[in-house]
Chains A and B, each alone.
Chain A
Amino acid sequence: MCTGRVDPAIIAKAFKKGLDGLIIVGCFIGECHYVSGNIQAKAKIDMTRRLLKHIGLNENRLSFQHCSSGEATRFVEIVNEFDKTIHELGPIGGESDRVKGPELFRKLEAAEAVLAGEKMRWVIGKKTEFLEKGNFYGEVFTEHEFNRAIDMIIVEETEVQEILGKLKEGVQSVKALAGSLAIPSERVFRYINALKRKEMVQLETVSGRSPLYKVIPQGV
């Protein structure tokens, strides 16, 4: 299979299941059978590493290497090297990760939702176009500008997915959401208002002084 076909959501899912490391080995850049498959792969995996780092996973747990099919020795070297790295990092959610389990696994669940979501897929898919030809307005992006756009989506989408994930467990107040998610409560308040505007969340009831919100299931 071409590395360009690796779905970033699968990567998050793998870590969520407790994998300590994941290495993706593919053809060298410029030697792609499908012309730009591994360039696409690089964009996707770079972005996935940024996202994993953002949620608190040590990003070195994910590695992207190049090796041609004739280089058996190199392949062994790469794998051994990675094996050593993972041994040094220890088990997932432990010492070497900024966020520890089980908090990390909850965040990985949100990460999977972000990576499976169309915003991320769509924008990542546009990288080559944005950098070479430009966006719909003809603005050609630098790598830095593109990364900033991606970072923005990473931060916001992760928080939104965390909120939606929590709400799927049952109705919640803004205060309770903020308490359990480590997102500043004034931001949760604004996300909830925005999600109402998008018809993805609604006010269910008011209990005492707490308005409680509920998720509106989205059609496909």
Chain B
Amino acid sequence: MIYEKEKRYIIPFTDVPSSRAEMPEISVDERRGNFTEVETGFPEAVAVQEAKRCLSCRRCLGCGLCLAEDNEDSIDFNIPGEELNLEFDEVIITKGQDNAFHPIKPELGFDVYADVITDLQFERMLSPNGPTGGLVVSPLNGEIPGRIAIVQGSSNEEDEKHLFSSLVLGVNESILALDKTQDLEVALISPVCQSFKEKFSSDAEQISSLGIIEGIPESVERKGEEGPLSLTYSTGGQNKTEDFDLLVVLTKEKISPEIMELSRKLDQEIQ
């Protein structure tokens, strides 16, 4: 399978209905005491409309325009794949480059607000090779944020190990962001701040310059139509609400199903 991420970029076409066609059925009264088929089938016009809803998903169109740009030497659309039968003495399974993650707590507005992003997206943004060339900006409007919050994103009770390593990533990301951006404030909100500070007590000086808050994020709302994100989090038994220009959620990685299957088949751990 040639890999494709789940979140596909889709253009809304406006010439077809957005909801799917409903199957017409005979009424409940007509069903009692007999076995007449319940669903009566799409009328022709409905079927054609429904078929037109198909996006005809396709990546390369095979139009050959790239080839026409003087690339006959380097491009060939019809190089066949290769099948190899190989024998090994040992296998090491690693998690690969999927970067899939467990669902994010819906209240945090990921997928609703374009300025709520994952730690993985933030990581790419911080890279000089990344989409913004290392510039920290809000994907909502391209502006440089003044206040960023980095929070724990999963909705379930978590294992300590995950909370810890994701906080380390969050801290590292804020170190890089602060280094690259002027007049930036970063708040890190995590339920394991205390133990984190204890473990990294030798780096106390570096950590003290970061705003680390022991707490759990509760919900996110947009203030007005174009306003900042308003984040509510619980800390010390109380709820607090603050405004931010960018929210980064720390994700819990999810191993891809094919790697899980491989691990199960060979009865071997993932490294």
Residue ranges of A at the interface with B (Cβ–Cβ < 8 Å): 118-119, 122-123, 126, 134-137, 139, 144-145, 148-149, 151-152, 155-156, 173-175, 178, 185-186, 188-190, 192-193, 196-197, 203, 206, 209-211
Contacts and interface: CB of A to CB of B under 8 A. Distances in A.
B63 A123 contact: yes
- Which 4 residue pairs are nearest across A and B when measured between Cβ atoms? A174-B142, A135-B62, A186-B114, A136-B62
11 contacts: A122-B68, A126-B63, A135-B64, A136-B63, A137-B60, A144-B51, A148-B55, A178-B141, A209-B146, A210-B142, A210-B144
A137 B144 CA distance: 44
A196 B140 contact: no
Contact of B58 (A126, A149, A192): A149
Contacts of A118: 65
B131 interface: yes
A136 B78 contact: yes
A156 B62 contact: no
Given A149-B61, A189-B114, 15 more contacts: A118-B65, A134-B62, A135-B61, A136-B62, A136-B77, A137-B60, A152-B11, A174-B141, A175-B142, A185-B114, A193-B132, A206-B144, A209-B146, A210-B144, A211-B143
Contacts of A122: 63, 65, 68
Nearest to B144: A209
Nearest to A193: B131
B142 A148 contact: no
B139 A189 contact: yes
A189 B61 contact: no
A83 B181 CA distance: 61
Interface centre among B13, B52, B141, B145 (most CB of A within 10 A): B141
B135 interface: yes
Interface in B115-161: 131-133, 135, 137, 139-146
B140 A186 contact: yes
A209 B143 contact: yes
A95 to B, nearest CB: 20
Contacts of A145: 56, 58
A203 B133 CA distance: 10
Interface of B: 11, 13, 51-52, 54-56, 58, 60-65, 67-68, 77-78, 114, 131-133, 135, 137, 139-146
A137 B62 contact: yes
Contacts, number: 90
B44 to A, nearest CB: 15
Contacts of A148: 13, 54-56
Chain B interface SS verdict (over half): loop
Contacts of A197: 131
A14 B132 CA distance: 39
Contact of A123 (B61, B137, B140, B146): B61
Nearest to A142: B56
B142 A188 contact: yes
Contacts of B55: 148
A196 B134 CA distance: 13
Contacts of B56: 144-145, 148-149
Q: Which of B60, B63, B139 has the largest count of A CB atoms less than 10 A from its CB?
A: B63
B146 to A, nearest CB: 7
B78 to A, nearest CB: 7
Nearest to A126: B63
A139 B146 CA distance: 50
A139 B56 CA distance: 12
Contacts of A173: 142-143
Given A123-B61, A144-B51, A149-B58, A203 B140 contact: no
Nearest to B13: A151
